[in-house]
Amino acid sequence: MNDSLVNSRHSNSRLAFFHIDTPLLLGLLALVSYGLLVLYSASGQSERMVEAQIIRLGVAFAVMIGMAQISPLTIRRWSLPLFIVGTLLLVAVLMFGHIGKGAQRWLDLGFIKFQPSEIMKLAVPMAIAWFIASHNLPPKKRHLTVGFLMCVIPTLLIAKQPDLGTAILIAAAGIFVLFLAGMSWKLITFIVALVSAFAPVLWLFGMHDYQRRRVLTFLNPESDPLGSGYHIIQSKIAIGSGGVHGKGWLQGTQSQLEFLPERHTDFIFSVLSKEFGLVGVLFLLAIYLFIIGRGLLIATRAQDNYGKLVAGSFTLTFFVYVFVNIGMVSGLLPVVGVPLPLVSFGGTSMVTMMAAFGIIMSVSTHKRSMAQT
Amino acid sequence: MLRKRVAMQDVEAESRLFSQRALVAMLLVMLAFGVIIINMYHLQVKSYQVYQTRSEGNRIKVVPLAPNRGMITDRNGILLAENRPVFSLELVPEQVENMTETLAELAQLIEIPDELQQSFLRDVRQQRRFNSIALKEQLNDEEVAIISVNLHRFPGVTVEARLSRHYPFGNLFTHALGYIGRINTNDLKRLEESDQLANYAATRDIGKIGLERYYETELHGTMGYQEVEVNNRGRLIRVLRSVPAQSGKNIQLNLDVGLQLTAQQLLEGKRGAIVAMDPRDGAVMAFYSNPSYDPNLFVHGISSTNYNALLNSPDRPLINRVTQGVYPPASTIKPHLALLGLETNTITPSTRIWDPGFFQLPGVEHRYRDWKRWGHGWVDVYSAIIESCDTFFYDMGVKLGIDRISDYMNRLGFGEKTGIDILEESNTNMPSRGWKRARHNQPWFHGDTVAVSIGQGYWTSTPIQLMTTTAALLNNGMLPIPHMAKTLTNDAGTEQVSTELQPTVNVVNPRNWQVIRDAMEQTVSTQKGTAFNAFRGASYSSGGKTGTAQLVKIAQDAKYDANALDERLRDNAMYVGYAPAENPSIIIAVTVENIGGGGSTAAPIARQMLDYYFSAGVNNDE
């Protein structure tokens, strides 16, 4: 087959020895550097915050490189156990979890507090890919049903915490696997229709008051200018006043970004838009598009179906992060707590994301060993 | 497994399918990015002017203003909870040029313990750089003066005046008033659920327990705000518009400082509770639980040493004994049971039984002893209440049966919360067959009924419940709902707290009320009465019932010897009394833990409370 072709392309790269995909690495580095630049400004020129972010990035990149060394075969073997452990931990969180900021997401193990939902961001698509890939593609109806259940159960457990943002991301990651595996268009249309019909039911019975408020505010932010609509209005003002060329680096915060809450975390895109304008936004989108494109390319070139599905799903989930965050701060989507990947200040989700990229790199560079399956 | 292998895997077709799907995905991604770009073009190019203008306008900042918390006074207008200005030394990290130097220089001017400096630096690291962070709170006048004079040397340093809650009577009203403290995660959650969060934007403290918690919404008031123009460093230029905050309501209580002080003196060195109210409307005039503690400790955050001392004290000062002290009601419920006996014709006012000093269930060897070892002789319902004869009630209780007792006492208010205006009220238990089945998975025994007949066994009550249920006997079955607050007042006017009574039991023969009330009066007025000695020579008429709750089971034929028992296992003394005997204006419940007999200990305390009540004319205003 075309193994030799793919392999020859890789043997040229010096980094290939460390199982690193050079274009992807360069894309990520460009993104991270750009992000640090914006963070310095958004944090009110806090060197301490930038330092903390660099340390976190260091850890995240180390995790990525570490994951890249593991053969996809091994990763594939871990998929199901990881999924089972993760699901049990989610149940544990609901039962004994630590309450932070009004939601129950953390599990306190004494020495460390962590969010099992982070594990599930990887485990859900991995386990579904493992299951679907162990049968022929396109998947049969009963395989799809099992795949759906593997996706829906953890999603509901997380939505119950309540953590709507993460629940959406995990649901998306699972659905992407099924979509990429070749679920029929007919079924896709049917599900889209079903979900739109189900939305009013969810609204009435499945949502917390604050979640409902967020959606209402999204539909009409001006209705609550002192409450939660404030975020969206301030963010849109910041973005709009950036214009084509922006106010210039470090020029945004001093004037009025003080009015923007969470400006170094979820709303960092507003700072970027204000200081670097439309030009800066297009540059950021270009980097994201490059990373997504590279990820999908690696997925199509992957040796086996498991690798294809996992790499594809991770890449598309990464896209969902970008889209939901930018959509939220620019008023296209309701406010859900999703960071701008690798740019927002913050820890756990960054490490998870880089672990995902590590797995993508592993899929792209461990070709030979895969051939033996 | 076999079937799976039969279907040959078409690797190439699968690969083609995946590539197709990946391509579709990529197109969708590009479409989504297109939407983002169109939106950005809209915001940043087409509407640039609009947002640019609004961005300038953004220099107008909305500053929330905290409302003043309502004050709390006693029935005569004496302040029990007030707001005092306190000064704190605060720094805005963004505006401080050299933090270590500034701290060192400030520490030379006034005393700043190392501990405070460390916690301040921790706060600085955790909070936004433009937030004002307190270095030292509760500055004294001298410190305020020293800092103020030197303020020009320290950019970013300010002395802030804030109102802080103060309870001038210290530990006298703690269990009634409760206290306020910093808003924590749980409070935030509660505020969010009740949609009150926005109203607390400028508020730092919230009622944690007691009246402060119960009337939080009323005491807090409504937030105001100021629209101010600020320069690009966040400094205030001028105030554009101001919507003043609406102060919380002032609350006048029915409590009386004098009665409280008397109660505190009487319980000095003891563990117990005193609660008194007007039986006609439920106005609580005294509410004291001993030992108490200083609520002011909690307002600025209690130190862990102090808190642990309170928490681990064997006297358990944090327990509100009036509403959370769950005790067996003992003999204090004999009038209630007598009413049921009369109503069901189980006894009549002239029914007599012979008391040899014990009671035996038919065919059982076990002797249920009377407190009087040699017996009371012939007793009727009057002498059974006056002398607190156990045997009479053992006999009547068994004849009534648990079902009738449980149902009737339930309706009189036992096993239910009284609904007093604080949330710290414990559940009490009025046992029944169903309850025992559910709780202990055991059937109900006659022996259980015997114990219940004298208010022991599974039956538990709180001092406040004993008081309200006895008040229902004085009101011909109308149960008062106790309330400490009398009026809530703000600019809009004064509103009265509801004084409605709640109907309980329907009495077939109204003469029965008089029987039990006469018996309670004679408990005080006749020589054989258990409260006679305590009330000898009182200037007013009164009625009441003593109770001595046994905490340990005494072996058959053994004698109760208080001295031989560990102090904390000794009997609880109780007294529920009211005065004047006709048309009573006060009812009082006294409970003292581990001290002995109700007649010898609790009744004299009630006597002194009532003496004060009448001599000071506490309830004469209406």
pLDDT single digits (tens) B189-203? 888 888 888 888 888
Sign of CA dihedral B329, B333, B337, B343: negative
Query: Element (H or E) spanning B456, and its range?
Result: none
Contact residues on chain B for A281, CB-CB shorter than 8 A: 37, 40, 44
Say whether B54 and A237 touch across the interface (CB within 8 A).
yes
**Residue that wins the pLDDT comparison between B494 and B131:** B494
B200 to chain A, closest Cα gap in Å: 12
Q: Which among B33, B61, B232 has CB closest to A254?
A: B232
Instruction: Look at A29-38, A247-256, B349-358 and tell me which has the smallest mean pLDDT.
Output: A247-256
**Residue that wins the pLDDT comparison between A17 and B490:** B490
Say whether B54 and A240 touch across the interface (CB within 8 A).
yes
Cα A272 → chain centroid:
20
Question: pLDDT value at position B189?
Answer: 85
- Flag whether pLDDT at A8 surpasses 70: no
Say whether A312 and B25 touch across the interface (CB within 8 A).
yes
Say whether B232 and A332 touch across the interface (CB within 8 A).
no
Are β-strands B250-253 and B72-73 bridged in parallel, bridged antiparallel, or unpaired? parallel
Pick from B463, B511, B514, B480: which is nearest to B585 by CA?
Answer: B480
B150 to chain A, closest Cα gap in Å: 28
d(CA B531, CA A136): 92
Is the backbone peptide bond immediately before A162 cis, with ω within 30 degrees of 0? yes
Cα B173 → chain centroid:
12
Arithmetic mean of pLDDT, B28-40: 95
- Flag whether pLDDT at B127 surpasses 70: no
DSSP B17-36: HHHHHHHHHHHHHHHHHHHH
Q: Which residue of A has its CA nearest to B3?
A: A135
Instruction: Look at A342-351, B78-87, B177-186 and tell me which has the smallest mean pLDDT.
Output: A342-351
Contact residues on chain A for B185, CB-CB shorter than 8 A: 99-102
Q: Which among A99, A179, A255 has CB closest to B185?
A: A99
Residue pair A302/A311 in contact by the 8 Å Cβ criterion: yes
Contact residues on chain A for B58, CB-CB shorter than 8 A: 234, 237, 256, 259
- Flag whether pLDDT at A1 surpasses 50: no
Q: Which residue of A has its CA nearest to B188?
A: A102
Contact residues on chain A for B55, CB-CB shorter than 8 A: 237-238, 240-241, 255-256
Q: Which among B21, B40, B185 has CB closest to A179?
A: B21
Mutation site for B-interface testing, chosen from A161, A184, A258 by largest number of B Cβ within 10 Å: A258
Q: Which among B22, B32, B125 has CB closest to A180?
A: B22
**Residue that wins the pLDDT comparison between B228 and B419:** B419
Contact residues on chain A for B54, CB-CB shorter than 8 A: 237, 240-241
A181 to chain B, closest Cα gap in Å: 6
| Longest alpha-carbon distance in chain B | 110
Chain B, 58-97: which have a CB under 8 Å from a chain A CB?
58-59, 61-62, 94
Query: What is the per-residue pLDDT across B470-495, written as a single tens digit (0 to 9) for each?
Result: 999 999 999 999 999 999 998 888 99
Query: What is the per-residue pLDDT across B322-377, written as a single tens digit (0 to 9) for each?
Result: 999 889 999 999 999 999 999 999 999 999 999 888 898 888 888 888 888 888 88
Mutation site for A-interface testing, chosen from B19, B44, B187 by largest number of A Cβ within 10 Å: B44
Arithmetic mean of pLDDT, B537-564: 73
Q: Which residue of A has its CA nearest to B55?
A: A237
d(CA B370, CA B376): 9
Contact residues on chain B for A327, CB-CB shorter than 8 A: 36
B616 to chain A, closest Cα gap in Å: 51
Contact residues on chain A for B122, CB-CB shorter than 8 A: none
Question: pLDDT value at position B194?
Answer: 83
d(CA A72, CA A369): 9
Question: pLDDT value at position A167?
Answer: 87
d(CA B55, CA B49): 10
Residues of B serving a catalytic function are 331
Query: What is the per-residue pLDDT across B571-609, written as a single tens digit (0 to 9) for each?
Result: 889 999 999 999 999 999 999 988 777 778 899 999 999
- Categorize the per-residue pLDDT at B139 as very low, low, confident or very high, splitting at 50, 70 and 90: confident
B22 at A interface, C-beta within 8 A: yes
Question: pLDDT value at position B521?
Answer: 95
d(CA B545, CA B488): 35
Say whether B10 and A226 touch across the interface (CB within 8 A).
no
B242 at A interface, C-beta within 8 A: no
Sign of CA dihedral A41, A42, A46, A50: negative
Contact residues on chain B for A289, CB-CB shorter than 8 A: 29-30, 33
Say whether B193 and A256 touch across the interface (CB within 8 A).
no
Say whether A46 and B129 touch across the interface (CB within 8 A).
yes
Phi, psi of A79 (to 5 degrees): -50, -55
Q: Which residue of B has its CA nearest to A286?
A: B33
d(CA A68, CA B319): 59
- Categorize the per-residue pLDDT at A108 as very low, low, confident or very high, splitting at 50, 70 and 90: low
| Longest alpha-carbon distance in chain A | 63
Q: Which among A101, A102, A296 has CB closest to B25?
A: A296
Contact residues on chain A for B7, CB-CB shorter than 8 A: 136
Question: pLDDT value at position A218?
Answer: 65
Whole-number average pLDDT of chain A = 82
Contact residues on chain A for B130, CB-CB shorter than 8 A: 44, 258
Residues of chain A with pLDDT > 70: what percent? Answer: 80
Instruction: Look at A123-132, B96-105, B441-450, B525-534 and tell me which has the smallest mean pLDDT.
Output: B96-105
Query: What is the per-residue pLDDT across A46-84, written as a single tens digit (0 to 9) for each?
Result: 788 888 899 989 999 999 999 999 999 999 999 999 999
- ipTM summary value: 0.89
Eight-state DSSP code of residue A343:
T
Residue pair B597/B548 in contact by the 8 Å Cβ criterion: yes
Say whether A273 and B44 touch across the interface (CB within 8 A).
yes
Single pTM value for the model: 0.61
Chain B, 585-604: which have a CB under 8 Å from a chain A CB?
none
Q: Which among A102, A135, A293 has CB closest to B26?
A: A293
Chain B, 100-129: which have a CB under 8 Å from a chain A CB?
125, 128-129
Q: How many interface pairs between A and B have CB atoms less than 8 angstroms apart? A: 147
The residues, any chain, with a CB within 8 Å of residue B189's CB and separated by 6 or more, are A99, A102
Q: Is B541 exposed, middle or buried (0-12, 13-18, 19+ CB in 10 A)?
A: middle
CA dihedral B365, B366, B371, B376 (to 10 degrees): -20
Query: What is the per-residue pLDDT across B215-227, written as a single tens digit (0 to 9) for each?
Result: 999 999 998 888 7
Sign of CA dihedral B161, B162, B166, B168: positive
Say whether B21 and A102 touch across the interface (CB within 8 A).
no
Q: Which residue of B has its CA nearest to A102?
A: B189
- Categorize the per-residue pLDDT at A100 as very low, low, confident or very high, splitting at 50, 70 and 90: very low
Say whether B189 and A102 touch across the interface (CB within 8 A).
yes
Q: In residues, how long is chain A? A: 373
